[in-house]
């Protein structure tokens, strides 16, 4: 019997590619990539990878060509609207946000444009690769503007006289500034997410899919969590545990040679900021150590 394999669609080359392969590596999935190859398979996990343009990923999942895909929320939402669907979860099963590929879809206008309110866009032309998201935003705000659909180099459209404004992805805003543009409205905040096809898998395929999702979940949960160790005066124990972010069951240990204090070890499932450590210190904690976690299996 041949082992069933699952198929994952990833962006071939672009802003999501490296983070996707890094996520696979951290999940213990070894993949050898060859230049110009559209298909590669893992040697130690039953997964095959299809390398495509990011815009094609939602459709590959919707059409069940691939079982899983990693795509930006921006592309997923645009595809959903282009297919006249009510919500992306009607088309694919969203598994989880992946904490990379952060950006926002924004409307930007030339720096010297006197932009006051959204009404300033009335009667103007806006160039974009996201016509559906832009149209939805304009309709919601009852703005009548002309949408000019372009496939690339959106940011030079105003200088070329093609459009008055643009609607494009922004992360730092550096590209906008370099093109003498300023951000006027944000339409959508986006990051990469793992999506899954909706069909019912065979039990064997479902088992592999679960294994894959658990690995990814474990890696992300570990990177979002920290292991914290500290000493606390016995009479402040409750107060100190209450400060620990996202801790359910801390381990409490006696300390050799100091009966007034206990040792606390805990996994914090939320970010541990300097402010948290300062609060712990103020509450009487000492010897505080915060460590990264590599893997987690709950
Ligand atoms: P492809 O050839 O695959 O169609 P592309 O040019 O459409 O590539 P990229 O620029 O590589 O796409 O961006 C891929 C995704 O990365 C975007 O859809 C978005 O989700 C995310 N992203 C994160 N930051 C940015 C940014 N500053 N600009 C554009 N995309 C960003
Ligand atoms: Zn694209």
pLDDT class of 34 with cuts at 50, 70, 90: confident
Measured from the CB, is residue 58 less than 6 Å from ligand 1? no
pLDDT of residue 155: 95
pLDDT of residue 230: 97
Hey, which of 9, 14, 19, 75 would you mutate to test ligand 1's pocket, going by the most ligand atoms within 8 Å of its Cβ? 14
Cβ neighbours of residue 55 closer than 8 Å, sequence gap 6 or more = 75, 79
Q: How many angstroms does the Cα of residue 16 sit away from the middle of ligand 1? A: 7
Q: What does the pLDDT look like over 228-285, one tens digit per residue? A: 999 999 999 999 999 998 888 999 999 999 999 999 999 998 888 899 999 999 999 9
Q: What does the pLDDT look like over 137-178, one tens digit per residue? A: 999 999 999 999 999 889 999 999 999 999 999 999 999 999
pLDDT of residue 2: 66
How far apart CA 271 and CA 226 sit, in angstroms, is 7
| Percent helix / strand / coil, the chain, rounded to 5 | 35, 30, 35
* Residue showing tokens 């103007």: 124
**Ligand (nearest to CA of 53):** 1
What is the rounded (10 degree) CA torsion for 26, 30, 34, 36? -60
Measured from the CB, is residue 16 less than 6 Å from ligand 1? yes
All domains of the chain in start order, with CATH:
6-99+192-222 (3.40.190.10), 103-190 (3.40.190.10), 225-292 (3.30.70.120)
Is 90 exceeded by the pLDDT of residue 33?
A: no
CB contact at 8 A, 207 and 201: no
User: What is this structure's pTM?
Assistant: 0.90
pLDDT of residue 36: 82
pLDDT of residue 1: 57
């Amino acid at each position: 019997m041949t082992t069933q394999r699952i198929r994952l669609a990833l962006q071939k080359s672009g802003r999501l590619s490296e983070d996707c392969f890094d996520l696979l590596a951290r999940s213990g999935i070894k993949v050898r990539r060859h230049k110009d190859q559209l298909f590669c398979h893992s040697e130690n996990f039953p997964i095959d990878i299809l390398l495509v343009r990011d815009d094609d990923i939602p459709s590959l999942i919707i059409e069940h060509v691939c079982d899983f895909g990693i795509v930006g929320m921006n592309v997923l939402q645009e595809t959903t609207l282009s297919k006249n669907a009510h919500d992306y979860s009607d088309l694919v099963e969203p598994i989880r946000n992946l904490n990379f590929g952060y950006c926002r879809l924004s409307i930007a206008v030339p720096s010297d444009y006197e932009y006051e309110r959204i009404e300033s866009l009335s009667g103007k032309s806006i160039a974009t690769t996201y016509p559906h998201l832009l149209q939805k935003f304009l309709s919601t705000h009852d703005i009548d503007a002309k949408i000019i659909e372009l496939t690339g180099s959106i940011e030079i459209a105003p200088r070329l006289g093609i459009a008055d404004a643009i609607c494009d992805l922004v992360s730092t805003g550096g590209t906008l500034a370099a093109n003498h543009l300023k951000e006027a409205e944000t339409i959508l905040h986006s990051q990469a997410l793992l999506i899954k096809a909706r069909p019912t898998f065979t039990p064997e395929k479902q088992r592999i899919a679960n294994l894959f999702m658990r690995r990814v979940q474990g890696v992300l949960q570990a990177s979002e969590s920290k292991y914290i160790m500290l000493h606390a005066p016995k009479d402040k124990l409750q107060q100190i545990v209450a400060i620990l972010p996202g801790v359910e069951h801390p381990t409490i240990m006696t300390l050799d040679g100091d009966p007034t204090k206990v040792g606390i070890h805990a996994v914090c499932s939320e970010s541990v900021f300097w402010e948290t450590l300062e609060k712990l210190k103020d509450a009487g904690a000492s010897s505080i150590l915060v460590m990264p976690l590599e893997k987690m299996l709950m």
